[in-house]
Structure 1
């Protein structure tokens, strides 16, 4: 019978423990309202981060939304998540990343949500 060196066994056990530990860790989701924008969210937070994890309630699809894949930061976070196909009528969690503004935003129809075109805006976000 071949023996595994103790250091390999310990390293493997540590790696598995760390993976298990990290899989449940991460930022606590921030509860947002259906029409809350990234700008609204940032105004309520103590620090200005580039990444947030949010939790949307059910039945969010009517908020104002400009852009496709990249949205203006005055757009509804939860409506953007629905448009991107990340959640359905039941709501759920999404990660948002703040990006620099763009010269223009093109609207589209996806997942039952229509977005509008918009000219240049100061900042943007994506959802994933």
Structure 2
């Protein structure tokens, strides 16, 4: 897979699951997390998105969806997570988004290993 193809996959994921992602991010991380997702979306439309930023933001999104910070009781994520009803359909949606985002992050690492560099720009 090329970097260009990877960028297209990330853009497609963000576009296809736009409302579900916004809802999940808001539920799991609050307003600050939603604003970060919006910045990530805007960064993807840049003429030559930075590959390291793409990695950082995709990693953040995976951590949020994977509930990495809910164990820290002082975190925003912990409070947001406590408000979610485990029987709500949104839980299934979050699981699907998590699987897809984690797959994209795994693809990122494969590309980085193949090129030996994750600090350059993505050819758009």
The TM-score with structure 2 as length reference comes to 0.27
Higher relative contact order (CA 8 A, sep 6+): 2
Structure showing the higher strand proportion among its residues: 1
Structure showing the higher helix proportion among its residues: 2
The TM-score with structure 1 as length reference comes to 0.27
